[in-house]
Structure 1
Amino acid sequence: MLIFAIFTYKHYMLHPVPMLLNYIIWTPDQVLFELGFFKVRWYSLMIISAFLSGRMLLSYFFKKEGRPVEDVDKFSLYILIACLVGARLGEVIFYDPIRYLKSPLEAIFPIELTPKFQIVGYKGLSYHGALIGGFVGAFLYANYNINFSLYPFRLKLVKQKKMGQSFLWILTPLAFGVMMGFFVRIGNFINSEIIGTPTHSQYGVIFAKHVVEDLSNSLPAIQSVRVLKNNTAEYDTIKGYPPIIVECTFAGVGVEEEAIKRFIENRLRSYLRASHVKEHIYVPSDSPLDYTITRNKKSQYIVDVKAFGIPRHPVQLYESFSYLLTLIVLFAWWYYKGATIRDGMIAGVAATICYSFRFLFEFFKDPFNVLIPGKYPITMGHMLSLLTVMAGIIVLIIIYRLPNNKKQVRINQ
């Protein structure tokens, strides 16, 4: 996947207008299923899958290492809470501090106060923040016992080291759990979040979901929208974008065709050329809108607007694959050589490898929170990934400087 990404990036730089053959138009439904007001979303399913899979792996790890399996629930709770708090604080501190300084309640609670009060959920979570939170949670678990109750409210921190579960030892299951984040990146892909930069590779993805939803919701006259491949048209000769059709089905039956045309020329034309739409769909501004009007069996008007899609790197999948591959390799290393591997070494290697990949993939992401602008902008994601790689290297240096107390025999299964 990494080699593919590098090849397509270089190919784009040398050949800006190739033919795209296998691009994907991505318009999935975020909701897996719903029962009345209860909805199960794909992203939530990915979060749950990451947690349950991680817990199963932790149970196996504790059992194979000869530690009490009943401690897994306590360890999982420490890490879960620490990661959630860290992920939220990371989003607030690293990516949007000014906004949350003006409205600190929005940083703490899943609400918006302006322009009106509403419950919106936590819209931003930082993977780097979650990593820092997990690191703190592992330290607390290994060295302290936390007594907490809601009624009466009590929070007491007692220093008490876990027997046979040092901080360096606990970093290995933490690393395995963090790499389960490959599920989360799949959820980001389903939600069309963290999109990549435009690409002219044959396997780019046109993230049209938000355009379809926004177009359907913002223009009441339109009942449904589909984005389809246009196999009969030519590619854009200047930008090399593939041809697509934006198919709009109108709700009204007794509407005159002239009214439909006026609607298209005014509101629909203006919408398709809005800045947030132009990230995914390209409609030349120097030419009239190209469209056809037909009717379906229900006598509803169907308007097919000819446009061009903007394929982007599915960078979420690049990152997901890198986490999964690293997890498989390091887990196999631990499985076969765990008795001879120093405590914490797997965590140091995982941080170094995963976030080296992450640093590279930042160049394929749509730039966000740019620190150093330019042709290849350096973002906050670059800096945080680089710091994580350095932290991984420091952990490895510290481990090598410490005496090796690991037994040189393999732990029996």
Structure 2
Amino acid sequence: MSHIFFRIYLVVFVCVTQCFFAQEYPGGLSDGTLKVNETALPVKIYSTTEAGDLNAFPDKTTENNVLVILNESSFEPSFYSFTAGTLAKYKASKYQLLDKNFKPIGNQITGDNIKNFKYAVKSNKQITANDHVTLETPFSIWDPSKGIQLGPITLHFYSLMFVLAFGLGYVIMSKIFKIDNVNQKYLEPLFTWTLIGTILGARLGHVIFYQPELFKEDFWSVFLPISTKNGLKFTGFSGLASHGATIAVIITTLYYSFKIIKKNPLWVLDRVGIVVALGGTFVRLGNFFNSEIIGKPIDPTSPFAILFPQQSSEYGATVPRYPTQLFEAFGYICLFVLLWILYRKTSKKYQQGWLFGLFFIILWAIRFFVEFLKMPQGDEFIQIGGLNTGQVLSIPFMIAGVIIMFMSNKFKITQAENEKPD
């Protein structure tokens, strides 16, 4: 047993120390090897989502062997002229422009072919169409498409993950209602109120905790997926906070419990917590597809190291980082499995509040420890004793979970009471 506790302590120690000893990458460049047939060319890898930085990069570097990963975000129609000028600048600086298969694109840059450009390579060896070229790195590179293209519409993976979260949540909650002999008519309002609480609470939580200036600078963007700064523009909701979603879902659940299903709110929250744990998994996978909520720089030889070429410049240089989204997703799916087993195989579902309290403790503990490896999410307005906003906000929820678990002894019901018809 002592060995188990030692290993747990070691993992926690590594997480904490990485907060202070993050890997450094001079110039924001990471190392890789470009293999051209049998020739291995050591290259410095650069990527950015900032059009201005991309344009300025050829003037700053004097390295002979450089590989620049070009981003799809740079090729939006509104940026065409600037992007075309940037690519022309790279060509003038003796970079070869290549497609995703490392094949040279020698023709003129046009609106029709501009999205074919994927790499810009500067080296002493000229790459030809007949060369077999691969990029080898000690780390993984995560550079997916934005989503599934359906004609003129792009179904973004992040949106798809949200659909899966609520869709599977609906199916699982339907099964739970059948197990507990609850009329299915109560499922639709629960789904509706949970959806409202999640979206509205997550958005307000982000703005209040991380971006309060939006209330003054761009008020309508707080509630609508638009921006009114510098003209009207559809942006989608670019900031959602789980702490805000949690508070709002608790509020909507209280309303649902007292006014609609007329059950103890802890009974409802015990079951909602199960599907929320699964939903959190899909949300973090959506963050992974979006290359957001990424971790701090990591040793490129680490098995966890991932380069996110599509990461926002607000996270700093595009270098190998911890995939903190996957760490959280793994933790949440394990929590879901644990809660489901406890719900199905034990009598804890009759101890109203016990499952929800456990859910709160573990969920926010996962969030608390993963935060040590995360980059700051916007402006960190709340910082206490070296803890960031996410960690500070997680502590009250963990404490609440402990209190709820202790109080759950007062709210025990029998199996007959639980399955009593409406």
Alignment pair present for 1:279 and 2:279: no
Tell me what 1:65 maps to: 180
User: 1:55-94 deviations in whole A, cap 9, x for unaligned?
Assistant: 1110111100111123211211111111111111111211
Identify the structure with the greater helix proportion: 2
How do residues 193-232 of structure 1 correspond to structure 2 at under 5 angstroms?
193-200=292-299, 201-210=302-311
Separation in 1 of the partners of 2:321 and 2:395? 24
Q: By how many angstroms is 1:206 displaced?
A: 0.7
Q: Does 1:186 align with 2:285?
A: yes
Give me the whole-angstrom Cα distance separating, in 2, the residues matched to 1:12 and 1:380.
15
Q: Which of the residues 329, 336, 350 maps onto 1:320? A: 329
Q: Note if contact 1:370-1:377 (Cα within 8 Å) is conserved in structure 2.
A: no
Q: Which moved more, 1:334-343 or 1:318-327?
A: 334-343
1:127 aligns with 2:242: yes
Q: Distance in 2 between matches of 1:347 and 1:177?
A: 11
Question: Normalized against structure 1, the TM-score is what?
Answer: 0.65
Distance 1:210 1:383 in 2: 25
* Matches of 1:102 and 1:15, distance apart in 2: 34
SS in 2 for 1:279: coil
One-letter amino acid of the structure 2 residue matched with residue 208 of structure 1: P
Q: Residues of 1 paired with 2:315 and 2:223: CA distance?
A: 32
Q: Distance in 2 between matches of 1:278 and 1:383?
A: 23
Q: Is the 8 A contact 2:15 2:372 kept in 1?
A: no
Deviates further, 58-67 or 101-110: 101-110
RMSD, matched Cα? 3.2
Over 3 Å counting, the alpha-carbon distance change for 1:38 and 1:391 in structure 2 is: same
Flag the 1:355–1:403 CA change in 2: closer, same or farther, 3 A. Answer: closer
CA positional deviation for 1:321: 0.6
Q: State the SS of the aligned residue for 2:144.
A: coil
Q: TM-score, normalised by structure 2?
A: 0.64
Q: 2:22 touches 2:298 (CA, 8 Å); kept in 1?
A: no
Query: Partner residue of 1:405?
Result: 413
Q: Determine the structure 1 residue equivalent to 2:267.
A: 169
Deviation of 1:10 (Å): 5.5
Amino acid at match of 1:370: E
CA distance in 2, matches of 1:313, 1:198: 7
Match of 2:380 in 1: 370
Question: Distance between the aligned counterparts of 1:278 and 1:354, measured in 2?
Answer: 28
Structure 1 unmatched runs, 5+: 146-161, 212-274, 281-309
CA offset digits 1:145-168 (Å, max 9, x no partner)? 5xxxxxxxxxxxxxxxx35x3211
Equivalent residue for 2:164, pick from 49, 54, 58? 49
Superposition pairs of residues 79-90 of structure 1, within 5 angstroms? 79-90=194-205
Offset at residue 5 of structure 1 (A): 8.1
Q: CA deviation at 1:373?
A: 6.7
Gaps of 5+ in 2: 1-6, 25-30, 33-136
Indicate the residue corresponding to 1:141 in structure 2: 256
Identify which of 349, 360, 373 aligns with 1:351.
Answer: 360
Change beyond 3 A, Cα 1:22–1:332: farther
How far the C-alpha of 1:44 sits from its partner, in A, is: 1.1
3-state DSSP of counterpart to 2:213: helix
Matched, 1:33 2:33: no
Which residue of structure 2 aligns with residue 105 of structure 1?
220
Residue type of the alignment partner of 1:406: T
Alignment CA distance shift 1:373-1:343 (3 Å) = closer
Question: Does residue 1:23 correspond to 2:139, yes or no?
Answer: yes
Q: CA deviation at 1:397?
A: 2.7
Structure 2 CA distance, aligned partners of 1:54 and 1:330?
Answer: 14
Which amino acid counterpart does residue 29 of structure 1 have in structure 2? Answer: S
Aligned 8 A contact 1:31 1:39 in 2: yes
Instruction: Go from structure 1 to structure 2 and tell me whether the alpha carbon gap of 1:60 and 1:22 turns closer, same or farther (over 3 Å shift).
Output: farther
- Aligned-pair identity in percent equals 27
User: How many aligned residue pairs are there?
Assistant: 300
- Give the deviation of 1:182 after TM superposition: 0.3
Asked if structure 1 preserves the Cα contact closer than 8 Å seen for 2:371 and 2:391, the reply is: yes
Question: How much has 1:102 moved relative to structure 2?
Answer: 3.6
Match of 2:87 in 1: none
Give the direction of change, closer, same or farther, for the CA distance of 1:8–1:388 in structure 2 (3 Å limit). Answer: closer
Deviation at 1:361, TM superposition (A): 0.6
